[in-house]
Structures are given as C-alpha cells and as structure tokens.
Amino acid sequence: MADFDLIVIGAGPGGYVCAIRAAQLGLKVACVEGRDTLGGTCLNVGCIPSKALLHATHSLHEAEHSFEKMGLRVARPKVDWEAMQAYKADVIAGNTKGIEFLFKKNKVTWLKGWARIVAPGKVKVGDDLHLARSIVIASGSEPASLPGIAIDEEVIVTSTGALSLGKPPKSMVVIGAGVIGLEMGSVYARLGAEVTVIEYLDAITPGMDAEVAKSFQKILQKQGLSFTLGAAVQSVERTRKGARVTYRLKKDDSEHSVEAEIVLVATGRKPFTKGLGLDGLGVELTERGQIKTDKQFQTSVPGVYAIGDAIVGPMLAHKAEDEGMAVAEIIAGKHGHVNYDVIPGVIYTSPEVATVGKTEEQLKAEGRAYKVGKFSFMGNGRAKAVFQAEGFVKMLADKDTDRILGCHIIGPGAGDLIHEVCVAMEFGAAAQDLALTCHAHPTYSEAVREAALACGDGAIHA
C-alpha cells in the first residue's frame, strides 16, 4: 500500500502550490525539499529577496530625488548594508515560514532531504523509501553560466551571490540584459555603483515588444546604467580589483574589456534535475535538458509528472504555480488547465515593465491585421502628481474584431495594472470592453482604459 497518494519533489512555487491544492482536493500528500527552508529559489534566493532590495533601494532613490520636490527636507539617507541585508533575511523568513504554516494547515508532510526516484511510485529521501501513487517533479532551475567562466559567488556571481554581496560595489558589470541583469543592475546603480550591462543581442530584454524595450533602455540609461549591445563575452578573469570581462563587438569583431569590482552573470537559467535518477527511470528530456511532458504534465514514464522551470515554457514562478494547481487537479481526477496565451511577465525595475500576449513584432510576423492603442503616463494625473509619468501603455487589438491580442506597459505599478488586461483576455474581451468600463479617478489604471480607448475613437487625455 502506498504511503502517499502524491509525492511532490521540490517546494518552490510550483511544488508547494501543487502539494497544497492536492491536499485540499483530499489527497494524502508529501513534499520533498532539501533546503533548510521551503519556498525554493523564488522565496529564498530569487523573486522575494530581490523585491526586498528593489524596494529598499527604490525608497532610497525616492528620498534622494523626490522628497525635496514635495517639500520634504530630510538629511541624505545613509545606507546601512548589514541592516538592509537583515531586512531582506526577515522578509525571506516571513515568507518561508508562511509556507511551513500552510503545509501544517493543509496536512502536507514535509520530507526533508533530496529526493531520488528509484522506480515509478518509489521515492528515496536519504535512506528512507516512500511509496506514492503519483509523483510530481517540481525541481526548478539553476543559473546557466557561460562556458569557461568560473562562478565563485564572491566576485563573479550569479543572482544568488548578487543578493548577498559583502558590501555594495563601486562598479559592476552585468552580463545579460534580461530580467535578472536589469533588476539587480538597478539595485546596485541606486546604491551608487557604476553599472555596465553587456548584452549579446542588439536590444535589451529579448522577446519584449521592441518599442517598449527601446523606451525601457532609455529610461535605465537616464538612471545611470550603461549598455554595450551586440557584444559576445569571451572570458571573465579575476583581477586585483575584482574581475575583467573581455568581449567582442559583433559589428566589427573588435575586442574590448572592462573591469569591475563585481561581475554578475545573468545569461539565463537551466532545468535543475541533478540527482533525481531520471536517466535510470527513462524520463525523456529535450535537447535543452527540459523534462518532456504531455498536455496532462505526464512525463514519458506513467505516474511521473513534471511542472515549472524543469519543463518547457517561460521560467516564471506564476507559470509554475498554475501548472502546480492544474496537475494537482488532474491527479485528483478533475480537469486541470493552464492558458499559456495569457501569462503575464513583469520586470520589477522602476518604472516596472509588464507584458501579456503578443508583441507587435509577433503579430507582424504572423501577418495578423491589428491596431495599436497607446497612451502615455504624461496624460495620467495620478502619475504626474507622484513624478512617475515616464512610460506608456500599448494595447494591441485585432483590426476587425477588436479582440485584445496583447498589452505592454512601462510605467508605475505596471506589474499590477497588467492584470485587468489578463482578465479581459481570459474572457476574450474586445478593447472596447475595457474602454467602456468605468475606471476610478485618479488611478494609474486609467492609462490602461485610455490605451483601450485609443484602439477605438481615441484617448481623451492624449
């Protein structure tokens, strides 16, 4: 007889959400986690700690740049790095303990240790063998470095080291202008570092709507970040002062180098499946090392499922959560479903950038007839009142049916604003549906409505 109906491997946002939902549906559930705390990369060394540092340094920036303009005279704030790190640690602890509480409340057993699947239905944690009717792999991802670069997490760091530096550096080179590079680059630029971002492609944030990416780059440059685009990094070597990054410019193949106290390697992540015993089990992987699954999240081995960063798709905590809930429903004999067309993406810089659905470039490539409704936060009274009028909302709708196809926002609170568009898209709404919905004044959300109006007869405040 099985010990559990379900064993979930990994307690990140995919795994813990799956475990809780399955328990709520009446299954006897265990979740295996080898870290000392629950929550995975996201809560321990990812989304949550980075948000603490982004919030603290954004507050610093506000105090330095906006307070006087509002008639607030205070002494220039001093950064107490140890205290800021302690604040970050408190935030992490509050969140990870919260998951422990939720496990207890929902009667999910935490099996402490690293799991290995020895056969379908059999999971070894240390020396203990546990039997389960179903297994869900939610083992997440780890940083993917570049060949020949030795990460030491002190001078040459991934996001993990970047969250816990000994002190804020005076200079930093960031390799990769993706989400991690720009969020962490923003943190240290606000703390006074000279930040140089080196990116292989010719634009920052690959895959993002090009107009938004361009505007985003300009805004970040005004904040002091500098960008070297179209540059292939060749090597990173430790020096007396820190490390030297050598790169080749693609346009003329010329070689250059730049030295900094800290080098952050933020060139993407790869599935973390080490030690799970997938080889012996015969679980099929893609050529990029992702676990292959069918539409029900089942791997090539019956009874073994996989979700989140370990499988195909965007490496986002909320995508993993949705898959976690869906696979729990499926295992419990219900219908689980994830709508991959409506998964928002957010970059938590200041201003934030948020996006959902198709970009203009994708629509062009697909040959779709579309219309664009744009509205600048310069026309939004609330944003102007708080010195956050940089940026705009860009809505894309089908030219004939007016159905919303995508939305891209750079501006205050973009990460929250995007969700009314997500809901609208889930319901197959037209831009006019949003345009006809009363929005409270004065809110940033009015900018979303104005962009929807701009898809029709025109925005009012443009």
* 169/176 with CB nearer ligand NAI: 176
What is the smallest separation between the CB atom of 201 and ligand NAI, expressed in angstroms? 5
Q: How far apart are CA 307 and CA 323, in angstroms?
A: 6
Q: Which residue is nearest to ligand NAI (CB)?
A: 178
Which of 65, 256, 337, 441 is catalytic? The answer is 441
Q: How many Cβ atoms from other residues are within 10 Å of residue 460's Cβ?
A: 12
Report if residue 282 touches ligand NAI, rule: CB under 6 A.
Answer: no
What is the smallest separation between the CB atom of 225 and ligand NAI, expressed in angstroms? 14
The DSSP H or E segment spanning 188 is helix 179-190
Residue pair 176/145 in contact (Cβ under 8 Å)? The answer is no
What is the smallest separation between the CB atom of 424 and ligand NAI, expressed in angstroms? 21
Report if residue 181 touches ligand NAI, rule: CB under 6 A.
Answer: yes
Q: Tell which one of 346, 424, 451, 459 touches ligand NAI (CB under 6 A).
A: 346
The reply to whether 337 belongs to the active site is no
Report if residue 199 touches ligand NAI, rule: CB under 6 A.
Answer: yes
Distances (CA, A) of 435 to 223, 360, 402: 33, 20, 11
Stretch that binds ligand NAI, among 32-40, 264-272, 366-374, 427-435 (CB under 6 A): 264-272
Q: How far apart are CA 23 and CA 175, in angstroms?
A: 42
Report if residue 203 touches ligand NAI, rule: CB under 6 A.
Answer: no
Q: How far apart are CA 422 and CA 420, in angstroms?
A: 5
DSSP codes of every residue in 216-277? HHHHHHHTT-EEE-SEEEEEEEE-SSSEEEEEEETTT--EEEEEESEEEE-S-EEE--TTS-
Q: Tell which one of 40, 176, 344, 373 touches ligand NAI (CB under 6 A).
A: 176
Q: Tell which one of 25, 146, 301, 342 touches ligand NAI (CB under 6 A).
A: 146
* 199/321 with CB nearer ligand NAI: 199
Of 284, 352, 353, 344, nearest to 314 (Cα)? 344
Report if residue 319 touches ligand NAI, rule: CB under 6 A.
Answer: no
Report if residue 348 touches ligand NAI, rule: CB under 6 A.
Answer: yes
Report if residue 347 touches ligand NAI, rule: CB under 6 A.
Answer: yes
What are 359's two structure tokens? 């970009």
Report if residue 166 touches ligand NAI, rule: CB under 6 A.
Answer: no
Report if residue 175 touches ligand NAI, rule: CB under 6 A.
Answer: yes
The reply to whether omega before 314 is within 30° of 0 (cis) is no
What is the smallest separation between the CB atom of 200 and ligand NAI, expressed in angstroms? 4
Stretch that binds ligand NAI, among 79-87, 179-187, 294-302, 405-413 (CB under 6 A): 179-187
* Phi–psi pair at 199, nearest 5 degrees: -130, 135
Site string (298-317) toward ligand NAI, x via CB under 6 A: -----------------xx-
* 269/358 with CB nearer ligand NAI: 269
What is the smallest separation between the CB atom of 44 and ligand NAI, expressed in angstroms? 13
| End-to-end C-alpha distance for the chain, whole angstroms | 67
156 strand-pairing partners: 263
Q: Tell which one of 108, 177, 310, 417 touches ligand NAI (CB under 6 A).
A: 177
Residue pointed to by tokens 């004044």: 441
Q: How many Cβ atoms from other residues are within 10 Å of residue 172's Cβ?
A: 27
Q: How far apart are CA 81 and CA 77, in angstroms?
A: 12
Site for ligand NAI in 208-247 (CB under 6 A): 232-233
Q: Tell which one of 130, 190, 269, 449 touches ligand NAI (CB under 6 A).
A: 269
Radius of gyration of the chain (CA): 23
Report if residue 40 touches ligand NAI, rule: CB under 6 A.
Answer: no
What are 166's two structure tokens? 């000994």
Write the burial class of residue 82 (CB in 10 Å: 0-12 exposed, 13-18 middle, 19+ buried): exposed
* 8/198 with CB nearer ligand NAI: 198
User: 210-226 burial string, b = 16+ CB within 10 Å, else e?
Assistant: ebbbebbbebbeebebe
* 198/383 with CB nearer ligand NAI: 198
* Residue type, position 366, single letter: E
Report if residue 267 touches ligand NAI, rule: CB under 6 A.
Answer: yes
Q: Tell which one of 113, 224, 268, 303 touches ligand NAI (CB under 6 A).
A: 268
Q: Tell which one of 77, 206, 280, 442 touches ligand NAI (CB under 6 A).
A: 206
| The residue count for the chain | 462
Query: Which residues are designated catalytic?
Result: 441
Question: Can you give the binding site for ligand NAI, defined by CB under 6 A?
Answer: 146, 175-181, 183, 198-201, 206, 232-233, 266-269, 315-316, 346-348
